[in-house]
Structure 1
């Protein structure tokens, strides 16, 4: 880990990523350092897509307590729009997402984005859309939750609250 401004930057998040349907770059180190991070691989045409509502609720409820939500659309399971603009409409218009969504990436296999390669090594590779990874602020804990685990579930909520302490 490299130190910056007194807080720790997790090496695997020491990158810049392009926001969804935008040319704007976001420095993930600056965005996440010293915070609990929830990373989710998303898809716009999946049966789990309604989880965007609960993810946004988490963002609204816990952002002031140190939670950062990062969404990464992926077509690895063939359920993402071909056009990034259409993905953005689903996220921002249909579900009112205000947490950070990024340009589509691969989340599995040899072409997986380095963030997801790291998460796979620490826990498990996504088996479907809406896999959720909770990463403690110091990076010492990585917990993954399957697509069927809703953000509002007791299991997820307990893990989140323990990492936010």
Structure 2
């Protein structure tokens, strides 16, 4: 299986295949609007704005698994837009660990386990996927999105 074999759902209920992003570099993040790391939304949005012309897409996947997200996907996306100016795609709320985890996150964790194992330890775990669909890096929640720029620049040829 590859990342392009998974379907996901936008916060408005629109379902699509990750194959839509074939040939693009992706930053996939599990998010939560009430998390102490939520200010990272501003950095993620800045990266999205600075790199979208280079086919870099940031994808936000809210999760309430750590009890730091509102219970409604549309409300979570709206909070991101209003509080942090987020314009990148936001998706429906899903678990990122366990039996009910979004299959995309099971794939990401298998391809890029963390230092303490495969589980997502907290909100704002970030994954970079290259243009071929390979998961090339996983970043811890506390890692600033700006620390991803050297890897991102290498992938897009800057």
Counterparts of 1:26 and 1:97 in 2: how far apart (Å)?
Answer: 20
Counterpart in 2 of 1:162?
154
Number of aligned pairs?
Answer: 152
SS of the residue aligned with 1:161?
A: helix
Counterpart in 2 of 1:148?
142
Counterparts of 1:134 and 1:12 in 2: how far apart (Å)?
Answer: 12
- What's the CA shift for 1:42? 0.1
- What's the CA shift for 1:85? 3.4
Equivalent residue for 1:63, pick from 42, 52, 56: 52
Equivalent residue for 2:14, pick from 5, 24, 27: 24
Counterpart in 1 of 2:88?
99
Does residue 14 of the first structure (1) align with residue 5 of the second (2)?
yes
Decide whether the 8 Å contact of 2:33 with 2:68 is kept in 1: yes
Query: Structure 2: which 5+ runs fail to align?
Result: 114-118
Counterpart in 1 of 2:128?
134
Kindly report structure 1 stretches of 4+ aligned residues shifted beyond 4 Å: none
The normalised TM-score by structure 1 is 0.85
Q: Which one scores higher on RCO, CA 8 angstroms, separation ≥ 6? A: 2
Note the alpha carbon deviations across 1:131-163, whole angstroms, 9 max, x for none: 00001111334200001111113xx11111112
Decide whether the 8 Å contact of 1:12 with 1:118 is kept in 2: yes
Decide whether the 8 Å contact of 2:3 with 2:133 is kept in 1: no
Counterpart in 2 of 1:121?
110
SS of the residue aligned with 1:152?
A: helix
SS of the residue aligned with 1:69?
A: strand
Decide whether the 8 Å contact of 2:62 with 2:73 is kept in 1: no
Counterpart in 2 of 1:4?
none
1:65-80 correspondence runs (5 A): 65-80=54-69
- What's the CA shift for 1:108? 0.9
